[in-house]
Every structure is written in C-alpha cells, then in structure tokens.
Amino acid sequence: GGRGADALHRRKGARRRVGCLLGNSLGIGPLGAVESHRRLRSESVSHVHVPQPRSEGIASAPRHSVEPRCQRGGLHRPWPRALRRGGRGQDRPWPLPAGDGFVSDRSRRGKESEASLTKHVVLVKYVGTDFAGFQYQPENGKTWSRLETVQGKLLKALSTALNTGSFKALRMRAASRTDAGVHAHGQVVEFRSARVFKDGTVESRKLLQSLNSLLPPGVRCVWVSDVPDSFHVIQNCARKQYNYYISFNPVYEDPFTFETRHRIKSEAGDGFVERMGRAAKAMEGLHDFTAFSNKTHDGIDREAVRHVEKCEVRLDSSSPGSGSIYVVCRGKGFLYRQVRHMVGAMLWHAQGKLDLTEIERALRDGKSFVDSGGRKWKPAPAKGLHLMWCEFQTLDNGLSIPLPHQL
C-alpha cells in the first residue's frame, strides 16, 4: 500500500543521508559512499574479510578485501569499534588516512598550549600572622582553595582573574618559602599565563586591581610583568634580606606592630645590644650552619655550608621610644629556619646563657655540635621575621625587577 511505500522511501533516504555525511567527513564523494554501501548490502557478511591485529605492527597487516572506497568510508562495523577502543595503531585493522579527524591531537595541543604560556613575576606583600606559611599544603586539606596559605590564596585569585580553570596551569613558585607566621615586604612569585602583561601597561594595572580585589586584606600584589622564559625565580635570585624585629619595652607596646615583632618582657640591660652585635658578627662569612637549622619536611639533605653576606644589629628608628632593635641578615640563600636559629643564639648570648666560643664551635662543625647536645637555644618566634626583598640581576630582555622601596 501507500503507507508501506512511504516507509521504504524514508528508510532509503535516511541511508543516503548517512552515506553522504560519512563520505563528506572523510574526504570522499557522497556518490562513492552510497555505492559502496549498496555493494556491501548485496554481498554476504562472510565474504568480507576483517584482518586480525598482528604483534609485528600495523605495517604487516593485510589489506581489506573490499574496494578502497568502502575501506576508507568506514561503513562497516570493525573500524568504529577499533576507534572506540582507543588503542594503539596495531589495534586498528588498517592505517588511518593522514589528516583525518579521528586521530586525537589532545596531547599535541597540550604541549603547544604549555609552550605558548608566558612567564610572569608578581611582587607580593603579606602579613603572615593568619597563614600557615607561603607554600600550599594539599595533604592538610581536601582542596587547594580551602588551605590558609599565601600561595593558596594567590592560586585561587590568579585562576579567577585569568580564567584558567585550573591552578596547575599557573606553575607557581616563589623566591622564598616563608614559614607560618613570617611576613614579607617583597616576595617575588613566578607564574605562567596565556595573556602577556607588560610592565607599566594598562593591562598589568588592571590585573593588579583584580588580584587585590580577590585577595584577603593581608595579601597585596604591587607589581607584575612578563619575564624571559629562561628566568627561574629561585636560581636567578642573587641575594635576599631578612630583618628580625625585637621589642624590649614591657610597658609601652605599639599596637600597630604587636603582631609583627617579637616582644621580650624584660628591658634590655647594659651591653645587651653590644653582645648581640658581637654574636651577629661571628656569623658573617662562609660557615657550616647545620646547628642553626632544622630538617625539612621533605627529608632532602641540603648543603649546610652557606655564605652570610651581612649580619648585624641595628636600632629600630621606625618605632622611636619603644626600645626596639632589628637584626639584618643578608645572603643568597638560607636553610630551613636558619635566620630564626641565628637570632635565637644571639639572644641567648646576650642574656649570658651561651658563650661566644660555643657559637664559633657550632659554626665550625654543626653536626658534632648538635650530636653532643650543645644546641640549647630555641629558634626565635616567627612573628618577628620579615622577608624584606629579593634582588635579581638585569634580565635578558633588559627588565629589572624592582625592590619594594623602589615602587
């Protein structure tokens, strides 16, 4: 009847449309695809030979018994199944045509996109009182965004501002991994971005505004710029300076500096600052600082011989009348908690609990000094330690990373 003829006509039209779509997507004419489809329907399934994969690879696999058009058209079942398995070349019954849409370029696109990312540095200031250090610690939380670390806040803010979707693409690292409670005036942080932000441009200022609106009040980004791809924020750091602030006045304590200074309840006696200065002078130069450090959590043994360029005690003119001093410690790199141990030993010597000869012995052979139980002091509290700046040589593109007081 008419109804059966209409249904047959619709089925034939549907087969023609499928053949045209497959043929066009594979670069062959629609008529050739339909003709191959009809030829397959007229033949028996047992006459079509599907070769099995061989261990010696795809090059030795036999060709299909049907015509090349049908073979490339992929209108039979073995080819889609082989593609859906996602296996290697020998799992497919024949080589795929070069340049077709079935070969996945995901890994290639990932490498190209990673190579297209530009390195940047951002200068960061933060008050470390409310943070568990700079570096994020995923083992202490379910997600990076829930960690109360400076890097965790920066990763979240940069991912939002740059719309990266994943913090891993930023590949962030810093010049100094400050401990919990340590503050920074000029932390230099390296990250990657698909967008390029030049120094002093409108785009860089907008990025800083966006970051500071997303960050907590205790963290601020003050400068950002692109750097050459050869730049490494840790290896290229020429030197860095830490200041440790100490307040001795037990009666008057400045409320604006209470959380950023180590407060000693007793007043500094006669010769206290001079004794601290002598201990600081003994720590200048190239020494073994094993006795003035702790082992890191990663268990890696780092070189303990370090060069301290400057170590001296100064009066704190920023807090007049408060009886405050600060210790300046400058060098290329420091061990874990090294500066805090140095200040702790200075305080013990100034208080008459540690002789200067013991400090000199600890600087000669730190391991034997610790093993013999000579280290009695404790590292100074973290609240008094400030990372002041990180200095870099002029980069390959002529850029100079500014110090905080130069902005």
3 state DSSP class of 48: coil
CB atoms within 10 A of CB 47: 9
Burial 304-319 (b: 16+ CB within 10 A, else e): bebebeebebeebeeb
Write the CB contacts of 154 (distance below 8 Å, at least 6 apart in sequence): 122, 124, 172, 189, 211, 215, 219, 221
Measured CA to CA, the distance from residue 36 to residue 69 in angstroms comes to 7
CB atoms within 10 A of CB 178: 22
Closest CA to 223 of 393, 390, 396: 390
Closest CA to 230 of 356, 381, 21, 399: 399
CB atoms within 10 A of CB 281: 13
From the list 91, 100, 130, 179, the catalytic residue is 179
First to last CA, the chain: 89
Q: For CA atoms 171, 174, 175, 177, give the dihedral sign.
A: negative
Can 226 be counted among the known catalytic residues?
A: no
Measured CA to CA, the distance from residue 113 to residue 109 in angstroms comes to 6
Closest CA to 311 of 283, 340, 271: 283
Alpha helix (H) residue ranges in 119-188: 150-162
The alpha carbon of residue 119 and the mean position of all alpha carbons in its chain are separated, in whole angstroms, by: 12
3 state DSSP class of 254: coil
In DSSP notation, 381-403 reads PGGGEEEEEEEEPPPTTS--PPP
DSSP secondary structure letter of residue 271: T
Measured CA to CA, the distance from residue 113 to residue 101 in angstroms comes to 20
Closest CA to 247 of 235, 236, 260, 261: 261
Which of the residues are catalytic? 179
